Amino acid sequence: MLIITSGMIGSGKTTLTDRMAKHFNSRPFFEPVGDNPVLPLYYADPKRYGFLLQIFFLNKRFKMIKRALNAPHNILDRSIYEDALFTKQNHLDGNISDSEWDVYQGLLNNMLDDLNAIPQAHPNLLVYVYTDFDTVLKRIKKRGRAFEQIDAHPELKDYYYRLWQAYQTWFAEYDKSPKVKIDLQTYDLSDPDNLPIVLSQIDAAVTKYKI
């Protein structure tokens, strides 16, 4: 079984990944944020470091999903399937040139072709984590990464909103596996009473799709 979690920055995705891994007694693969030397540079100067950041993430996500697909039982925190969402937004924002976008797409397609050669080519389930935009902003502020804060960088608010909108379109169009939407605004995991409710929704999807 391979379940991937996806969702907007600050939605609670990583927290849910951890809780799901414990619930299913499986190994979590977490998104490389803390050990990403490019991410703070990108937030300081997105036009200079946009392409470098996306190549860094693409390489890490390709490595992670290959390891996860070749193992029997894993939960993956964000995946290669949503990587292009960020790169496309950087292209639309002018942080990535047309030539860089073309190079990225070619590299991504080559990687996806390689994944198709693995016996289990796709995840069994996508768990999409949703909150409204105001909740996203509150959670970004609460977790306290200095380079993410809109108080110091007001322009980030518009960027986050564009990503938040893009995620909803991406989820609607995602077709690589069965999928389920989890509302972590209504069922905020900071309240321990909500965790069994959320996990029961995921269990129901696992049963429905015979995972």
18, 77, 102, 114: which is the annotated catalytic residue?
77
C-alpha dihedral, 166 to 128 to 149 to 133, nearest 10°: 60
CA distance 121 to 65: 10
Q: Is 105 helix (H, G, I), strand (E, B) or coil?
A: helix
CA distances from 95 to 45, 52, 55, 80, 128 (A): 9, 11, 13, 20, 26
Residue type, 125: L
- Taken in order 196, 198, 204, 206, the sign of the CA dihedral is negative
Main-chain phi, psi angles of 91, to 5 degrees: -65, -45
113 is catalytic: no
| Encoded tokens for 45 | 């100067």
Residues acting as catalytic residues: 77
